[in-house]
Amino acid sequence: MNSSAFEQFKALEESHWWFRGRRRIYLELLRGVLGGRRPARVLDIGSGVGGFLSQLDELGDGLIFTDLNADALNQCRSGGVGQGVRSSADALPFRDESFDLICLFDVLEHVEDDSGVLSEVFRLLRPEGHLLISVPAHAWLFSRNDEIAGHHRRYNRRDLQGLFKAAGLDLVRCSYANTLLFPAIAIFLLLARGLTALGLSARDSERTNLSWRVPAPIENLLYLAFTSELVLSRHWDLPLGHSIVAIARRQELGARLVTLRPQLPTEIRARSARVSPTALASD
């Protein structure tokens, strides 16, 4: 993320309808999956300006946040919750199976090796621990806004399903978000991209779709429109939207063996039944 985008996010994190809306939706879905359980250790990777830290501190214990940007870490530390560690997302300085909940809010699109980051997450998650990520959706919406924010890509649901499976994580929820407003957002972004391609809008401009401010009553209406989808998304994964929120779980080794065993030939199943999970874990 370049410096102008960072300053913009810092200024808008508390008041802008999009930031407020995504916090409510993502954390509501997470609470639904946790079912009242309180994670003992929580890690927020790529915490940025710290918009989720106070809610994560209320949701669980032992909060740690990381970011590679020193200014971002200082901003997060000023909030007075959790412990900050400067680190990249793909080489984190923590022991194996250290966390019950790991979050990456709009982080995965910023890294070149997204599969490497998920492998690192798998290493850090305790058995039955949960991962929550959010990412921008639909490659065909990639625009100047993504370039300014430092995005390498946008995703669809199939992309995430493949990444999670390869990392050994079991998807629990994978829903599009910002659904009701998505048609208007898509038209706006495609129009802006077309104007830039025609030379009618300066490509070196640092303005993004968050640069356009609206009166407070309209801000509140947009927030209500965004969060109204919770009526559906609390129960079902939505099929379309501007972002994707996914929640996955790392299963116990024994549970994973039970899942895999019926897929093996009979003679291999019989042989594997004589091998203890402890022996497998030491291979």
Pairing of strands 83-86, 99-105: unpaired
pTM: 0.84
Domains along the sequence of the chain with CATH = 3-252 (3.40.50.150)
Confidence (pLDDT) at 195: 78
- pLDDT tens digit string along 111-136? 999 999 999 999 999 999 999 999 99
Token pair listed for 6: 């960072």
CB 124 within 8 A of CB 98: yes
**pLDDT tens digits for range 227-246:** 999 999 999 999 999 999 99
261 pLDDT above the threshold of 80: no
- Counting residues of the chain whose pLDDT is more than 70, the rounded percentage is 82
Average pLDDT value for residue range 14-36: 95
Residue 281 has pLDDT above 60, yes or no: no
The yes-or-no verdict on residue 279 having pLDDT over 50 is no
Cα 74 to the center of its chain, rounded Å: 22
Compute the distance between CA of residue 19 and CA of residue 161 in angstroms, rounded to an integer.
Answer: 25
Rounded Cα–Cα distance for residues 97 and 126 (Å):
4
The per-residue pLDDT for 189 is 84
Phi, psi (deg, nearest 5) at residue 175:
-120, 140
